[in-house]
Amino acid sequence: MPVITYREAIRHALAEELERDSNVVVLGEEVAQFNGAYKVTEGLLAKFGPKRIVDTPISEAGFIGMGLGASMLGVRPVMELMFWSFYSVAFDQILNNAANVRYMSGGQINCPIVIRGPANGGTNVGATHSHTPENVLANHPGIKVVVPSTAADAKGLLKAAIRDNDPVMFLENTLLYGEKGEVPDGDIVIPLGLADIKREGTDLTIVTYGRSVHHSLAAAAILEKEHNISVEIVDLRTIRPLDIDTVLKSVAKTHRVLIVEEQKPFASVGSQLAFMIQKEAFDELDGPIHRLATIDAPAIYSPPVETEQLPNPARVLKAALAAME
């Protein structure tokens, strides 16, 4: 099985879908001539030409609106945001229009648009370029939200997102672009709304997604080696639709829960998860649900301080031990 980077996996998904469906186009800032701000779209312009790989002005409101209109007419646009922090400029287009068009048209108009790009902290680019808006996006019915943690998941989920008839928000992580992993050859498509058990365990369930999966796996290895604690890690992969059944099955197995996310803690994805778990599996719990999130402040510019603000293996380890008390 080939070992490729997260970045390459996304590029492969884009290329395969561009070849499979002539209605698929890629648009965004610097995606064509510059090969993408993060080199995700490298080589696509040369292969597919300027009518399908399109550089846009630095105007998220403009090009997201254009993509939305095109999607309503049968095009399947994949729009790249240089940072998901800039989605707020196109808030009306994404969350007022794309989210509601199928419902308000009585199912007559689909909106098969994918908006993708990095949504994360940890790159020391300051508070205005480090947002993780999956909770805001998921709050709007009609929007699907995907946050892949591995190269294989990035490829399979992106292919599913492009083929979906609803608007899909695809949140990547700058710090994962260079991470390598095994990715099956061929047309791998991972259904949206299906979580994945990244590690089997019996004593504690960690529910997580995105880069926090990697921090949780690192902490789980230490917990098993040094504390004889067996950790099961549930990677949500998609925030909405949410695979709560896989989460509840794991909770019934381990009876203790830690939720790890790179969100601010107030009104986050973890908040919703904690409510759903206690509502549906209260009798399975042997202790309170524990949560670990980014420390509740704007993203800190200082590299060493931002590292401690975000989830990291040491913070996950400490939170896991507290959950086991």
The band of 1, judged by pLDDT with boundaries at 50, 70 and 90, is confident
> What's the rounded mean pLDDT across residues 40-46?
97
> What's the rounded mean pLDDT across residues 31-49?
97
Number of domains in the chain: 2
Alpha-carbon distance of 134 to 224, in angstroms, equals 31
Strands 3-5 and 180-182 turn out to be: antiparallel
Domain check: are 7 and 62 in the same one?
Answer: yes
Domain check: are 175 and 208 in the same one?
Answer: no
Name the maximum alpha-carbon separation found in the chain: 59
Full domain range(s) for residue 281: 196-324
Inside any domain, residue 190: no
- Alpha-carbon distances, residue 156 vs 38, 98, 186, 234 (angstroms): 20, 23, 10, 18
CATH number of the domain at 290, please. Answer: 3.40.50.920
pLDDT of residue 316: 98
Against a cut of 0.75, is the pTM above it?
Answer: yes
pLDDT over threshold 90, residue 26: yes
DSSP tag of 50: T
DSSP tag of 81: P
Domain check: are 245 and 221 in the same one?
Answer: yes
For residue 288, whether the previous peptide bond is cis, meaning omega lies within 30 degrees of 0, is: no
- Cβ-based neighbour number of residue 280 at 10 Å: 14
Domain check: are 23 and 136 in the same one?
Answer: yes
pLDDT of residue 180: 97
Annotation marks residue 255 as catalytic: no
Among 138, 156, 182, identify where a domain stops. Answer: 182
DSSP tag of 266: T
What element of type H or E holds 299?
none
Domain check: are 43 and 165 in the same one?
Answer: yes
Among 160, 164, 161, residue whose Cα is nearest residue 188:
160
Asked whether 277 and 248 are in contact (CB, 8 A), the reply is: yes
Q: Name the percent of the chain lying above pLDDT 70.
A: 100
Among 151, 182, 213, identify where a domain stops. Answer: 182
Alpha-carbon distance of 111 to 216, in angstroms, equals 35
pLDDT of residue 185: 85
Angle between helices 269-281 and 244-254 (to 10 degrees): 60
Annotation marks residue 129 as catalytic: yes
Amino acid (1-letter code) at residue 292:
L
Tens digits of residue pLDDT in 83-107: 999 999 999 999 999 999 999 999 9
The band of 309, judged by pLDDT with boundaries at 50, 70 and 90, is very high
How does the average pLDDT of the chain come out, rounded?
97
Strands 196-199 and 231-235 turn out to be: antiparallel
> What's the rounded mean pLDDT across residues 278-303?
97
- Cβ-based neighbour number of residue 57 at 10 Å: 8
pLDDT of residue 186: 85
Alpha-carbon distance of 181 to 298, in angstroms, equals 32
pLDDT over threshold 90, residue 258: yes
Tens digits of residue pLDDT in 168-189: 999 999 999 999 999 998 899 9
Domain check: are 115 and 7 in the same one?
Answer: yes
Among 54, 86, 58, residue whose Cα is nearest residue 70:
54
> What's the rounded mean pLDDT across residues 255-267?
97
Inside any domain, residue 189: no
> What's the rounded mean pLDDT across residues 244-266?
98
Alpha-carbon distance of 294 to 127, in angstroms, equals 13
Domain check: are 127 and 219 in the same one?
Answer: no
Alpha-carbon distance of 124 to 127, in angstroms, equals 9
Domain check: are 202 and 164 in the same one?
Answer: no
- Alpha-carbon distances, residue 24 vs 12, 76, 78 (angstroms): 14, 5, 7
State the catalytic residue, choosing from 12, 17, 29, 129: 129
Residue 260: strand pairing partners: 292
For residue 265, whether the previous peptide bond is cis, meaning omega lies within 30 degrees of 0, is: no
The band of 77, judged by pLDDT with boundaries at 50, 70 and 90, is very high
First to last CA, the chain: 41
Asked whether 300 and 186 are in contact (CB, 8 A), the reply is: no
Tens digits of residue pLDDT in 187-218: 999 999 999 999 999 999 999 999 999 999 99
What element of type H or E holds 234?
strand 231-235
Tens digits of residue pLDDT in 140-167: 999 999 999 999 999 999 999 999 999 9
What element of type H or E holds 245?
helix 244-254
Among 127, 160, 182, identify where a domain stops. Answer: 182
State the catalytic residue, choosing from 29, 60, 80, 261: 60
